[in-house]
Amino acid sequence: MIITRIRLYRYDIPLKAPVAISLGTIEHARNLLVEIQTSENITGWGEGSPFWMIVGETQASGLAAAEDMARLLIGRNPLDIEGCLNALTRYLPGHPTTRSAFDMALYDIAAKAARMPLYAFLGGDRRPLVTDETIYLNTPERMVEDALRIQANGAEAIKVKLGTNLRDDVQRIEAIRRAIGDITPIRTDANQGWSVVTAQAVLRAIGSSNVQYCEQPIKRQDIAGLRQIRRNSSVPIMADESLFDATDAIRLVREEAVDYFNIKLSKSGGIFEALKINAIAEAAGIPCMIGCMSESRLALTANAHFAAARQNVQFCDLDGCFEHADDPVHGGITYTGYQINLPETPGIGAEIDSAFLAKLPVNTIA
């Protein structure tokens, strides 16, 4: 089997409303789709969500890189996943989100060829997966409204974006906690928004508010700062932007900098690298979360397969599609409340609606 044709799509999905984090605001999910066709008539689908403020990629830069990547893969054996991905990495060492879309499509092909759902192809089994839902930066009053709605919908945990300043962030958590009571855990995410001093002060102030963990309180490169915060905080610390690949994972383990890892396929370069990150974390006794950017249910389904296949993934933050105004995906994961239901069809088990696909700008490499 060889790769005969690759189509690259500009995959824009409008959001219901702009979403704000400490790094900036987005109004559309400007993603990219990769469709890999093979000589055996097996097609693989992959999606990347280039969140420029985190991964340093845009949709335009990703699609430009994807054209070169596609040319490298034409004629190769898609089942040689490691060989294909090594070729892409050698040629363009960056661009993890773009590479993740190719990675996803290759795993989709391999699992379809094996006639197995992706979670089974990865050596796992179906197990309960539950996502949280995120509250984005806003006034305390508006964030309380969102928290009450999410709690009423039956969420087992609520994720709250922070990262502005000590007073406002503490007010946000205190207001939400007063409104929803003491039982539902709160997961916080500062997206690098604080200094070490501010992070320690905020976490000290909210430490008794049933906060399950805090993601990425400070700048991604400040590993010593993360270690200091962890040693002085009753709230566990999770690495997100500080963790792109296996090299980052080894450094975080060596420095004893965090309690948890947040793995995102769009950030790690895909499943192949994510498996390495999880293996390092598991060996070091560090539980993981599977997270997301602003992917549709196509990529979220691949993320969920990964989570099902690895017991060390203890948390799911797979709510990116909740903010989308359109859902162009056929198949894929479904949600019963916040419980994630995986498809049993071979591969990822998700494709894009043909009518929606026909409207997308496309570039074909054959």
Q: Which residues are part of the catalytic machinery?
A: 161, 264
Q: How far apart are CA 75 and CA 71, in angstroms?
A: 9
How many other CB atoms sit within 10 Å of the CB of residue 93? Answer: 9
Both tokens of 229, joined, read 């915060």
How many other CB atoms sit within 10 Å of the CB of residue 353? Answer: 13
Q: How far apart are CA 10 and CA 293, in angstroms?
A: 16
- Smallest Cα–Cα separation from 290: which of 270, 304, 311? 304
Exposed, middle or buried, 234 (CB in 10 Å: 0-12/13-18/19+)? exposed
Q: In what order do the strands lie in the sheet with 24-38?
A: 43-48, 24-38, 3-21, 362-365
Q: Encode 309-335: b = buried (16+ Cβ within 10 Å), e = exposed.
A: bbebbebbbbbbbebbeeebbebbbeb
How many other CB atoms sit within 10 Å of the CB of residue 182? Answer: 10
Q: Is 323 a known ligand-binding residue? A: no
Q: Is 215 a known ligand-binding residue? A: yes
* Residue type at 357 in one-letter notation: L
Exposed, middle or buried, 18 (CB in 10 Å: 0-12/13-18/19+)? exposed
Are the C-beta atoms of residues 292 and 319 closer than 8 Å to each other? yes
At 102, is the secondary structure helix, strand, or coil? helix
Q: How far apart are CA 160 and CA 136, in angstroms?
A: 6
- Smallest Cα–Cα separation from 257: which of 196, 318, 210? 196
Phi, psi of 344 (to 5 degrees): -105, 0
Q: Is 189 a known ligand-binding residue? A: yes
CA distances from 149 to 58, 167, 267, 305 (A): 32, 24, 30, 28
**Sign (positive or negative) of CA dihedral 214, 218, 223, 229:** negative
Show binding-site residues.
Answer: 189, 215, 240
